[in-house]
Structure 1
Amino acid sequence: MTISAGTVMPAAADTDPQGYLTKMKAQEMWKVADGSGITVAVIDSGVKDVSNWKSESVLPGVSYIEPPFERPDITYPPHEDFVGHGTTMTAAIVGDGSSGGPKGLAPGAKVLPIRTSVGTPMAFAVASEAAKGLRYAADNGAQVINLSIGVTPDWPMDKIKPAVEYAQSKGALIFAAMGNAGEGKNWSNAIAALPGVIGVGAVDESGKAMPFSSHGPDTDLVSVGSKVQIRCTDNKGWCMGNGGTSYATSLASASAALVWSAHPDWTANQVARVLIQTAGAPVDGSKRSDWIGYGVARPRKVLLDREGDPGAADVDPLAAPTSAKTPVPSTDPTAAVPPRTEAAGAGSGPTWQWPAIGTAVAVGLGLAVTVIVKRRRGRPSGLA
């Protein structure tokens, strides 16, 4: 089991505009809905108070980090962040684009930071802390819950699974990063395999699946995870790099916030359903693929083009017999290593795969062994 923490980047972030916002027609969407009225819980490494969002955009939150046994006097407030991962996820959702940081996709939403031991030597406790965080989020008004962290299959799910079910019973929609281990053995996040949880993979700015993106039958949606502004290794500034499936998950969560903001009477199932229906599907005409799921999240299709049928309020859109949550064993001995497909403009920088410093949890890496069906890596029909 591994844990991730930190991103090695060469220098301060460029003043490169968020190209995906233009492709997604964010400015036009914000005239319809900007996420106002929606709270997104970010269960992560905390959030550092930086000048990249309005003060009211980030709620007080809570921290579930326990002090070391030998130092019971130490406290870990939610508005601190050792590694910058949670800070990046927060900015991707509600950032104002200042100081080299990203402009959030749902700038009118509010983020509820829930701090766990991600990025610390105490990371063995993250699964238990995340379970507490899921319940706290559900009890404190979070409609969307962002989990850009993951657990390995050998870590007990006896706390996470009922916590997910509890949050869902309270009406929350949960997004979980698939992980950044798509090359090689391709382990993915065990949380993404739970019923009703939206597993999110990463694509580059052209809509091509990133080779590091974990993939398989639990991939439901994808979003951009390359060439974005992320916190530098020392968490003292912004750097350009691949945000991985962690960043993609925050954009999927923000997409849900936009749709829900425009349709506050919808349920989590209905928001998930229209995001799946309007996703940029694989260009080969297939309904879904293990690399990109049902495709790139495109909230503008709902907000601007008025597409998507919300359907039944109480029916999980992923619960069909052919759901991506139902793995099909493969007889192909090479199934665990799907072929890589080169794509023009594919990112080649370092992924958000951090040095191991503990056990049990991975930030956006989600090292969970799943049964993978070998399928051709797909490309969605477009980011916008």
Structure 2
Amino acid sequence: MILAAWTVTAGTVLPAAADTDPRGYLTKMKAQEMWKVADGTGITVAVIDSGVKDLPGLEGRVLPGVSFMEPPLEHPDKPYPPHEDFVGHGTTMTAAIVGDGSAGGPQGLAPGAKVLPIRTSVGTPMAFAVVPEAAHGLRYAADHGAKVINLSLGAFPGWPSDEIKPAVEYAQSKGALIFAAMGNDAEQDNYTNVVASLPGVIGVGAVNDDAEPMPFSSHGPDTDLSSVGGKVWRRCNDNTIWCVRDGGTSYATSLASAFAALVWSAHPDWTANQVARVLIQTAGAPVDGAKRNDWIGYGVARPRKVLLDHEGDPGAPNTDPLAAPAPAKAPSPSAKGTDAAARRTEAADAKSGSVPWKWLALGAGIALSLGITVLIKRLRR
């Protein structure tokens, strides 16, 4: 797999975060220094996911939101408030963006931002409805002030792009920047998120603390940026406790959304295209000299290069920076790059991961009779 360059400053090497310090990426990316420049204030990030559980570390940071969650067939009138979360996936993403780090949860990377929770059927037997629910969520987010929209939904086999594409285009017409998790399926079928293939959407892959692609990270020509998907704090046991587990592309995507919130907070007059462009320009590119590859895209996003080093040219406000991407250089899964010590030397500016989630489509007699494919979640890690 191809590594990415995570240069900090000449002669400076920061150690990789230990499993006992899952917030170590904050130190690597110089979060404290970045927050002196911008902390996400003034930016709303919509998290289209499984909802959010009201926890101490999220007080005052989460907007009322909305639920488009499909009720079960046997209880068609059952309500599902946005501030509930059966599985903890949406709660984890929210905390990764705006959490205050208390009560064992993550310290969010954009603590001054606000999260707009949009609840869908992620994590339930009604998950076949996630596509239309997400489409509604995209439109709602755009109409309610979200500058950044986070889709940490991973790869759903058979997602109909013709159903989600108009909603993506609508949100983009309102000025929103959309991030989509590539998925965690590389070790099996390598399903990738169809949303990431749509024009202007940033597809996010996962890397470890040495800037090496996580083996489960789905990858392909739609991978645009990457972030750490290793050990992080996330919700476990049906959203009852915090635990340390691999993040994956979901967590990586939430952090990419937080990076955009930081940059946009510092440059509120920029457009979505300009924010995306500087994140791509300043990413830690593959160390083999390729402009991009299918595992990490243009590289590991490094917002400190924009906020602290003042790098990146925002360019044309109305031109999609991904409209004419460079051809991918196919990575070799066996090409580890340098040895571990060299990787740590190069890997200094880490980001963060995502929760590995996967869905399996199962047909049941009633589902077949209704022409519905039921998708059930399977926690990969």
**TM-score of the superposition, structure 1-length normalised?**
0.83
Q: How far apart are residue 285 of structure 1 and its match?
A: 1.2
Aligned match of 2:293? 289
* Counterparts of residues 100-179 of structure 1 (less than 5 Å): 100-152=104-156, 154-179=158-183
Please, which of 313, 320, 341 is the counterpart of residue 309 of structure 1?
313
Question: Does structure 1 retain, via aligned residues, the 8 Å contact 2:155–2:183?
Answer: no
Partners of 2:236 and 2:242 within 8 A in 1: yes
**Aligned equivalent of 1:46:** 51
265-274 or 280-289: bigger deviation: 280-289
Residue number among 83, 86, 95 corresponding to 2:87 in the alignment? 83
Instruction: Supply the AA of the counterpart residue of 2:323.
Output: A
Per-residue deviation, residues 3-43 of structure 1 (Å, max 9, x unmatched): xxxxxxxxxxx873510010000000000000000000000
Q: Which residue of 2 aligns with 1:265?
A: 269
Partner of 1:61: 65
Structure 1 residue 93 corresponds to structure 2 residue 97 = yes
SS, match of residue 158 in structure 1: helix
What letter corresponds to residue 238 of structure 2 in structure 1?
D
**Alignment of structure 1 residues 232-251 onto 2, 5 Å:** 232-251=236-255
Q: Distance in 2 between matches of 1:209 and 1:190?
A: 20
1:65–1:296 CA distance, 2 compared to 1 (3 A) = same
Contact persistence 2:156–2:359 (CA under 8 A): no
Q: Out of 33, 37, 46, which is 1:32 matched to? A: 37
Residue 280 of structure 1 deviates from its aligned partner by: 0.6
Q: Which of 112-121 and 352-361 deviates more?
A: 352-361
Amino acid at match of 1:216: G
Cα offset, 1:356, TM superposition: 4.4
Q: What displacement does 1:352 show?
A: 2.1
SS in 2 for 1:200: strand
Deviates more, 1:34-43 or 1:14-23: 14-23
Structure 1 counterpart of 2:302 = 298
Q: 1:248 to 1:351 in 2, by over 3 A?
A: closer
Which amino acid counterpart does residue 204 of structure 1 have in structure 2?
N
Q: Aligned equivalents of 2:272 and 2:112: distance in 1?
A: 19
Contact 1:95 1:107 in 2 (8 A): yes
> Aligned runs of 1:9-28 on 2, under 5 Å?
16=21, 18-28=23-33
User: Helix, strand or coil for the counterpart of 2:60?
Assistant: helix
Distance in 2 of aligned mates of 1:322 and 1:363: 35
- Contact 1:19/1:205 (<8 A) preserved: no
Conservation of the 8 A alpha-carbon contact between 2:154 and 2:250: no
In structure 1, what residue type is equivalent to 2:165? K
Runs (5+) with no aligned partner, structure 1: 1-13, 366-384
CA distance, structure 1, for counterparts of residue 198 and residue 378 of structure 2: 16
Amino acid corresponding to residue 128 of structure 2 in structure 1: F
Opposite residue 149 of structure 1, the aligned amino acid is L
Letter of the 2:263 partner, please give it: V
Question: RMSD across aligned C-alpha pairs, in angstroms?
Answer: 2.6
Compare the two structures and name the one with the higher helix fraction.
2
* Letter of the structure 1 residue corresponding to residue 100 of structure 2: D
* Percent identity between the two aligned chains: 74
Tell whether the 8 Å contact from 2:285 to 2:299 is kept in structure 1 after alignment.
yes
Per-residue CA deviations over 1:186-220 (Å, capped at 9, x if unaligned) read 22111111110000000111211111101111000
Instruction: From the superposition, tell whether residues 142 and 323 of structure 1 become closer, same or farther in structure 2 (CA, over 3 Å).
Output: farther
Contact 1:47 1:81 in 2 (8 A): yes
1:228 maps to: 232
User: TM-score under structure 2 normalisation?
Assistant: 0.83
CA contact (8 A) 1:96 1:107 kept: yes
CA drift at 1:99: 1.2
Quote the Cα distance in structure 2 between the aligned partners of 1:344 and 1:258.
Answer: 31
Give the counterpart letter for 2:115 in structure 1.
Answer: V
Counterpart amino acid of residue 179 in structure 1: G
- SS of equivalent residue, structure 1 residue 31: helix
Asked whether the 8 Å contact 1:149–1:363 carries over to 2, the reply is no
Contact 2:71-2:126 within 8 A present in 1 as well: no
Counterpart in the other structure of 1:277: 281
- The one-letter code sitting in structure 2 at the alignment partner of 1:116 is T
- Partner AA of 1:22 in structure 2: T
Equivalent in 185, 191, 194 of residue 187 of structure 1: 191
Structure 2 Cα separation of the partners of residues 362 and 194 of structure 1: 25
Residues of 1 paired with 2:202 and 2:290: CA distance?
A: 19
Gaps of at least 5 residues in structure 2 are 1-18, 344-353, 363-372
Query: 1:72, CA displacement in angstroms?
Result: 3.0
Is the contact made by 2:283 and 2:298 (CA closer than 8 Å) also made in structure 1? yes
Q: Please list the CA deviations of residues 233-288 of structure 1 after superposition, one character each: whole Å capped at 9, or x if unmatched.
A: 22111000101000000000000000000000000000000000000111111111
